[in-house]
């Protein structure tokens, strides 16, 4: 999800076409594509070799997956990334994420779409800001659902482009885990319980959109909701997968802690091993 402390995300583009002259390079064995949900642990283990704007971590899920499976990794994940940033430079010194793909690529992980659906804007502007006046669940905005559903064509096109650029790769799509259940907590600074459940329902709607696209394309969708249900932002700090508004580990609310990145990495490793791609 788009970093709550970062700004300047690229506006959603209408055209998702790659120039006809684009050519795939050889590609790394494992390429990680995505936004801050895959890129960062915030202030923890910052990768100083990566573009500063990406806030990429040395202990994010892609790096943990690569370490466990012994894979050569090209980690292109970047905070605030949107689907167009797969095709185009996100900013100075940040190449298009698709530049990492090629015929040698065997494994691609993709965690993308929350920024395109304006999740941060709705969560902050409607739910947290609206808590003092009754909350967002009580005045549900159908436009949020429309924003989430509207990413489907661009997401499907991105999956097709990954296959074009990396024809020998298996694509693994990991969804959004459990951030909140039907309760809130002091660390969420007044978020209403009904709004907590409402926010989680939107992440699960987003999961439905990307899972459907993955299934249609033949990619492997990895459900992260069930495994993380006891480790949301109101869980004990020692086990929670995401920092709450009072972020005491990463300094980035709604972003993965080290425990969260490890948990997602374990699920991705299990999916990769089960797919048989490593036996090719």
pTM across the whole model: 0.89
3-state helix, strand, coil in the chain (%, to 5): 40, 10, 50
- Are 175 and 222 in contact by the 8 Å Cβ rule? The answer is yes
Distances (CA, A) of 277 to 43, 54, 136: 34, 29, 44
- Domain regions of the chain by residue span: 30-279
Q: pLDDT by residue (tens digit) across 17-57?
A: 333 334 446 778 999 999 999 999 998 999 999 999 999 99
Report, as residue numbers or ranges, the catalytic residues. 36, 255
CA distance 104 to 77: 19
Backbone angles phi, psi at 110, to 5 degrees: -135, 125
Q: pLDDT by residue (tens digit) across 196-236?
A: 999 999 999 999 999 999 999 999 999 999 999 999 999 99
Fold classified for 30-279? Rossmann fold (3.40.50)
At a CB cut-off of 8 Å and minimum separation 6, what does 27 contact? 74, 100, 101, 102, 103, 104, 105, 165, 166, 169
CA distance 7 to 91: 12
Backbone angles phi, psi at 256, to 5 degrees: -70, 140
């Amino acid at each position: 999800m788009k970093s709550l402390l970062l700004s300047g995300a690229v506006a959603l583009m209408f055209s998702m076409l790659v120039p006809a002259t684009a050519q795939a390079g050889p590609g790394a064995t494992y390429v990680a594509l995505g936004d801050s949900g895959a890129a960062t642990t915030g202030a923890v283990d910052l990768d100083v070799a990566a573009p500063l704007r990406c806030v990429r971590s040395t202990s994010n899920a892609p790096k943990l997956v690569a370490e466990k499976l012994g894979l050569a990794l090209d980690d292109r994940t970047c905070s605030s990334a949107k689907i167009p940033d797969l095709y185009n430079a996100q900013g100075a010194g940040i190449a298009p994420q698709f530049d990492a793909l090629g015929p040698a690529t065997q494994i691609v992980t993709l965690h993308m779409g929350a920024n395109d659906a304006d999740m941060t804007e709705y969560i902050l502007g409607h739910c947290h800001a609206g808590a003092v006046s009754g909350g967002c669940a009580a005045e549900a905005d159908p436009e949020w659902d429309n924003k989430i559903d509207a990413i489907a064509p661009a997401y499907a096109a991105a999956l097709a482009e990954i296959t074009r650029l990396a024809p020998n790769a298996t694509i693994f799509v990991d969804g959004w885990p459990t951030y909140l259940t039907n309760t809130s907590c002091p660390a969420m600074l007044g978020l209403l319980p009904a709004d907590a459940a409402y926010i989680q329902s939107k992440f699960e709607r987003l999961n439905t959109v990307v899972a459907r696209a993955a299934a249609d394309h033949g990619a492997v969708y990895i459900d992260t909701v069930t495994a993380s249900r006891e480790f949301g932002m109101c869980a004990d700090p020692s086990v929670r997968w995401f920092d709450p508004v009072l972020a005491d580990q990463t300094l980035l609310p709604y972003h993965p802690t080290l425990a969260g990145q490890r948990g997602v990495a374990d699920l991705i490793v299990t999916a990769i091993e089960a797919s048989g791609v490593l036996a090719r």
